[in-house]
Structure 1
Amino acid sequence: MIEAPILAVRDVGVSLGGRTILEGYSLDVGKGEVLAMLGANGVGKTTLLNCMVGLRHPERGSVTRMGRIGYVPQLFQSTFAFSVLDIVLMGRARHLGLFTAPRKADYEVAERYLELMQVAHLRDRPFNALSGGQRQLVMIAQALASECEIMILDEPCSALDYKNQAIVIATLRRLNREMGLTIVFSTHAPQHGLEVASHVLLMNDRQRYRHGSVAEVLTADNLTNLYDVAIGRAEFGMGGRFTFAPTYVQ
């Protein structure tokens, strides 16, 4: 018996201001998979993610979620002077009644995921005073505190340096392998897909896309078509590891 997907996108179409953003997108995300979404700026990655999360309803087609969603936006900044612990506690909102204050159990959950993300020492710091990498780890802790089954992240490594990118990607890999968490994230770096994803979605334009396993879909030829620039495969020289890099320098 084939297990039903935990997230199913069916013929999704989205229009904005009379302009079609997406049309006919269909894909399944299985439980425990990691899906990396790649595409040029403006191709509709965030729009599709918003449909998956439920922040936007597609005009055509449907999105079916068979698990609780935890959402991590791009480099979130709080309007108010909340502490790190306050931010993570917000992830407990779906478990609280209207006008109900967090209980002892909610604090324990928040503290547990701060520890898991190795940012417990920042619990009393103002969230907005943190570095970009620290904020992303705190937002991941917030999503985990919601007790999600699917984590969706919009360019989690955007504007981060290499060290903080490595920390975030290693964290996603650990959450998937140790907790079995299903993860969907957008990125501009094919290497992130190679490092952590099981599947990839290449969004060429509003209608053309490729979806499948990393081995099948994440190739130099497909990336060249995706970004309209020559991209080659670069071997590291040991252990069979490789990456992709543009070859446009003459």
Structure 2
Amino acid sequence: MSLYNIRRRNPLVHCITNNVVTNFTANGLLATGASPIMADEVEEMNDVVSVVDALLINIGTIHARSRNAMLVAGKKANERGIPVVLDPVGVGVSAFRKETVKELLDTVTFSLIRCNAGELATIAEVEWHSKGVDSGDGDMEVAEVAKEVANKYNSLVIVTGPTDVITNGETVLYSTGGNELMTQVTGTGCLLSAICAAALTIDGNSIELLQEVMQNYKDVATKASEQDLLGSFQVGVLNAIHVLSRGEEY
């Protein structure tokens, strides 16, 4: 179980993430047994990335200062050879976001791009009707497009949805289950990207490790939704992550 292995590894994960989800992301990483650090000042990027085990870049509330910090941090992470995860939140919403993600993908080598179908379509330049930062809808063979993006950027790609797609450009794995309440609470996808960054610090087959993480997260959603109350769901997610990461029965 990858959540359990994250606890055993106890990686330090640097999250340049959006200000809507910093607290939930930090607590979620702590629930897995990882250690978070949240920093986006460009002047300290080289120092921070020099001591961490993985880097998450999340563009949810991107601005000019954090964009520069992301580029500096990504380059430093590549120099060190540590995992870098891109979460292109709402990339199709604006020209600024599209330009930022393009520059990041052209400048930084990512271990993983973790996105929804709408974000994948924007990166792949496939016609799609996104709704803000939500997935939206359109006509696309998700697995095939994900493989194309993975090969283009030499990166693993995860596309979340009712059935998650995980690919390295050749192999395609899936995870199923979960609960739709996961889409109704801010930050659950962003936390998932941070957990994936932590998982990539574990020795082993990366695509299989990530498939385990995705299935674990589906199980988290199922456990957290047992009361079927949206207000308690976020707390339930943290509780389920904490229990599952310790290898215990919920």
Fold-level match, TM-score > 0.5? Answer: no
Larger strand fraction of residues: 1
TM-score by length of 2: 0.29
